[in-house]
């Protein structure tokens, strides 16, 4: 499955659970670590975990396993690494504080 298909599945899972302010950032020209970053917010720790669980289940249904996941315990910022796509599910305050969208939108490409 290519990165565009993964992004579509992640976005669908986020939309199904009413994630807030879903953003897809193409970052392939800025880093070699990933092609896309998908970011959204949840309304509570339970909502953030539910969105995360839905994303993981959706990708497992398409034989994408072995996801690396960080931050599930506190559920204020959960990061899921699918290799070429990284998904972030944030508490709104933490999302604003860390400003990933602003950082990646202004970041210049890294020379190889």
Would you state the pLDDT for residue 31? Answer: 84
Identify the H or E element spanning 24.
strand 20-26
Would you state the pLDDT for residue 30? Answer: 85
Question: Could you tell me if residue 3 is left (phi over 0), alpha (psi between -120 and 50 degrees) or otherwise beta?
Answer: alpha
Q: Please, what are the domains in the chain?
A: 3-106 (3.30.460.10)
- Here the tokens at position 112 are 């190889």
Identify the H or E element spanning 11.
helix 3-16
- What is the full per-residue pLDDT of the chain (112 aa) written as tens digits? 899 999 999 999 999 999 999 999 999 888 889 999 999 999 999 999 999 999 999 999 999 987 789 999 999 999 999 999 999 999 999 999 999 999 888 755 544 4
Q: Are the C-beta atoms of residues 100 and 37 closer than 8 Å to each other?
A: yes
C-alpha to C-alpha distance for 82 and 80, rounded to whole angstroms: 6
């Amino acid at each position: 499955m290519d990165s565009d298909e993964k992004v579509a599945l992640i976005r669908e899972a986020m939309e199904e659970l009413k994630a807030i302010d879903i953003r897809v950032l193409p970052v392939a020209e800025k880093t070699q670590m990933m092609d896309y970053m998908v970011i959204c917010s949840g309304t509570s720790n339970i909502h953030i975990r539910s969105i995360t669980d839905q994303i993981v289940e959706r990708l497992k249904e398409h034989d994408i396993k072995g996801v690396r996941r960080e931050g599930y315990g506190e559920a204020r910022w959960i990061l899921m690494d699918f290799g070429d796509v990284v998904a972030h599910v944030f508490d709104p305050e933490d999302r604003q504080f860390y400003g990933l969208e602003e950082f990646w939108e202004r970041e210049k490409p890294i020379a190889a």
